[in-house]
Amino acid sequence: MASSPFIIVAIDGGAASGKSSSSRTLSERFHLLHVDTGSFYRAVTAELLRRAIPAGDLEAVRRALAEITFGTRVQGRSAQMEIGGRVAGEEIRSREVNGHVSHFAAIPEVRTALLAYQRGQADVARAQQFRGLVMEGRDIGSVIFPDADFRFFLHADPEERARRRANEGQQDSIAERDRLDSSRKTAPLACPAGAVSIDSTHLDLPAVVDVMGKLIAAKLAP
Ligand code: CDP
């Protein structure tokens, strides 16, 4: 009997565009490892802030990256980044991290340090017998897995996204992060050619997941 194919689903999009909710639902539906790469950039940011390193001090950032050891812990269906053997807590959603993460994420050395780590999540998923992985971020379909089986790009009106983030009880300047993420030189946020673009402004979560899930199920059907 042929074993079912290992599938990679890439979901990119701006802040509060619905990536996390749809990724989580797809991971349950298709037994995929859920990898939130934003949480990786947030964990690295929290660690650099803990070391009192400003994003402008490239030498200090480089030195810290050379020292930091990354690991992965799978909790439920979700891949958590370990830094020095520890999984970061809720501090990665703090106002401070919200305000700094896009500055660190724009540094090419930071992105390079995370590139192989992110691709290695496919090995983690295979080792843990997942059917594949769903990875969300800003450059998954363009840089990390350009050959992914499915590449989705989520977007929504800025007002709607700001409303969603406020409903989550978070103070987050998503417009500023989007501006920084879209204008950086390395791996800017953009819909990659060939990706399926979904406007979620007037779609609820089940409707978004329905579009994605139908495409995935069609490919997985025998
Ligand atoms: O949840 P939200 O969409 O607001 O943000 P996130 O996915 O947690 O990502 C936080 C920040 O990490 C983004 O604003 C980007 O600056 C950075 N990021 C990135 O540069 N590349 C990725 N693949 C994922 C996140």
Q: Residue 75 maps to which CATH number?
A: 3.40.50.300
Range of the domain at 185: 7-220
* Assigned domain for 2 exists: no
Distance 41 CA to ligand 1 centre (A): 7
CA distance 145 to 110: 18
* Assigned domain for 66 exists: yes
**Which residue, judged by its Cα, is nearest atom 11 of ligand 1?**
38
* Assigned domain for 82 exists: yes
Amino acid at position 130, single letter: F
**Which residue, judged by its Cα, is nearest atom 15 of ligand 1?**
102
Number of domains in the chain: 1
Which residue's structure tokens are 């996204």? 161
Residue 144 is predicted with a pLDDT of 98
Q: Please, are residues 210 and 26 in contact by the beta-carbon 8 Å criterion?
A: no
Residue 221 is predicted with a pLDDT of 76
Residue 6 is predicted with a pLDDT of 94
Q: Which of 101, 168, 178 gets mutated to test ligand 1 (max ligand atoms within 8 A of its CB)? A: 101
Residue 45 is predicted with a pLDDT of 98
Query: What are the pocket residues of ligand 1 if the criterion is a CB atom closer than 6 Å to any ligand atom?
Result: 15-16, 19, 37-38, 41-42, 101-102, 105, 137-139, 177, 181
Q: Which of 153, 154, 181 gets mutated to test ligand 1 (max ligand atoms within 8 A of its CB)? A: 181
**Which residue, judged by its Cα, is nearest atom 13 of ligand 1?**
102
**For the chain, give me the number of helices (H) and strands (E)?**
9, 8
* Assigned domain for 137 exists: yes
Could you tell me the mean pLDDT of each successive run of 10 residues in the chain, 222 residues long?
A: 80 93 97 98 98 97 97 98 94 93 97 97 97 97 97 93 85 86 93 94 94 93 72
Residues whose CB is less than 8 angstroms from the CB of residue 183 and which lie 6 or more positions away in sequence, other chains included: none
Nearest atom of ligand 1 to the alpha carbon of 172: 4
* Assigned domain for 166 exists: yes
**Which residue, judged by its Cα, is nearest atom 9 of ligand 1?**
38
* Assigned domain for 120 exists: yes
* Assigned domain for 1 exists: no
Token digits of residue 54: 């400003």
Residue 130 is predicted with a pLDDT of 97
Residue 3 is predicted with a pLDDT of 62
* Assigned domain for 160 exists: yes
